[in-house]
Amino acid sequence: MATGLAGAEAVAAALRLRSRLALVTGGGSGIGRAVCQRFAKEGAAVAVVDIDEGAATETLRTLHRDHQQHSVFVADVTSSESVRSLVSQIQSQFSRPPCVAVNCAGITMDSLLLKMQEEAFDRVLQVNLKGTFLVTQAVATALIASGAKKGSIINLASIVGKVGNLGQANYTASKAGVVALTKTSAKELARYGIRCNTILPGFIDTPMAAKVPQKVLDTVLRLVPMGRLGDPSEVADVCVFLASDDSSYVTGASLEVTGGLFM
């Protein structure tokens, strides 16, 4: 009996996100889905957020359940009204604001610089950069108002936001902006106990990567020392670290998950 109790306590201790509420945008697919799955296994209650309700619901069906509750929320991250409503709905359903937020929502609309339409440039920045700003602002505001003394905001950028990439002037600009936004947020929110960090994935095996022509992927893989695409779960593992107390003295950081690409 004592051995069984000790085992149960060990399992509970191993759940690094136990009793935490996490909001994950872009939770309907790719890295966002992997983050939701990993967080649920670590004991978090997960608010799966996506503009595609069907995709978010599919993610919900895959989540580990013990005693924690998970739920789907539909939101347009480019709309301040939608984002404020999202945080309000989450707070109403769970009786607390999310103490962890992961901004995974993102799109690509690729074209060479000389051919890129203004609408494509604007739309990518609206989703990738403005959306990250709005969610960060809304979650931080709710946490501060609640009197919570700690929180973790994790923003997904990209290694190409650091080095540039052919045909992605809009995407690379948006992801470079996410890094700068996160560093400023980290400086401003540290006094409230809210940490803000960025993850810079390389080429990860997601639906977004599936749109890349195979010839381009083959060229990229020759530049990756580890010789393969990353798995979404490998990005999710880093998100768990940044969401947990294991990274309690880490803020304003940019962690590369690239297999060594562009190091």
Three-class SS state of 61: helix
Asked whether the beta carbons of 253 and 219 are under 8 A apart, the reply is no
Name residue 101's beta-bridge partners: 23, 153
Active centre residues (catalytic): 171
Q: Which of 145, 32, 162, 22 is nearest to 94 (CA)?
A: 22
Cα separation, 227 vs 221, whole angstroms: 6
Measured CA distances, 23 to 36, 88, 177, 218, 262 (Å): 9, 12, 21, 35, 31
Residue type, 231: D
* Cross-strand bridge partners of residue 156: 199
The bridge status of strand 71-74 relative to strand 100-103 is unpaired
Kindly list the distances between the CA atom of residue 112 and the CA atoms of 108, 124, 165, in Å, as whole numbers in the listed order.
13, 14, 10
Quick check: 239 and 215 in contact, CB under 8 A?
no
